[in-house]
């Protein structure tokens, strides 16, 4: 009995829903007559323009200038230059020593 009732209920639902799924074309004819409409325009709105403000002046103090004596390069460059200076002085000193020795040995022959 319940099975028959359930089947009947499903069949009824299927019949009712299938009617909304039908494709059809409706044709309608309408004649539109405009009614005279009187609409008053809104009153003109005059707004005061926004005030124009001049930006406040900005005063900036100049940065201080610092002049200090000394080197402005890096320490590695200074160390390299000092090493080159020491090597040059050492070579000059060695050259003088060798030159003196050479003269001491060769000038005695005269």
Domain coordinates of the chain in residue numbers? 74-110
Question: Can you give the pLDDT at residue 70?
Answer: 66
Instruction: Give exposure, 59-77, as e/b (b: 16+ Cβ within 10 Å).
Output: eeeeeeeeeeeeeeeeeee
**End-to-end Cα spacing for the chain:** 153
The answer to whether the CB of 71 falls within 8 A of the CB of 78 is yes
What does the DSSP assignment read for 15-26? Answer: HHHHHHT-----
∠ CA 89-94-98 to the nearest 5 degrees? 150
What's the pTM?
0.27
Question: Can you give the pLDDT at residue 21?
Answer: 56
What's the average pLDDT block by block, 10 residues per block, for the chain (110 residues)?
Answer: 84 71 73 78 84 89 83 78 94 86 69
Residue linked to tokens 């060769």: 106
What sign has the CA pseudo-torsion 79, 84, 90, 96?
Answer: negative
By C-alpha distance, which of 9, 25, 5, 27 is closest to 17? 9
φ/ψ (deg, to 5) at 50:
-65, 140
Question: Can you give the pLDDT at residue 86?
Answer: 95
């Amino acid at each position: 009995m319940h099975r028959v009732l359930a089947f009947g209920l499903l069949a009824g639902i299927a019949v009712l829903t299938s009617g909304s799924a039908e494709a059809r074309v409706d044709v309608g004819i309408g004649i539109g007559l405009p009614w005279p409409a009187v609409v008053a325009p809104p009153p003109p709105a005059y707004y005061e323009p926004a005030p124009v403000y001049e930006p406040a002046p900005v005063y900036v103090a100049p940065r201080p200038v610092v002049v200090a004596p000394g080197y402005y390069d890096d320490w590695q460059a200074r160390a390299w230059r000092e090493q080159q200076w020491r090597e040059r002085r050492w070579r000059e000193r060695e050259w003088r020593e060798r030159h003196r020795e050479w003269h001491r040995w060769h000038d005695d022959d005269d």
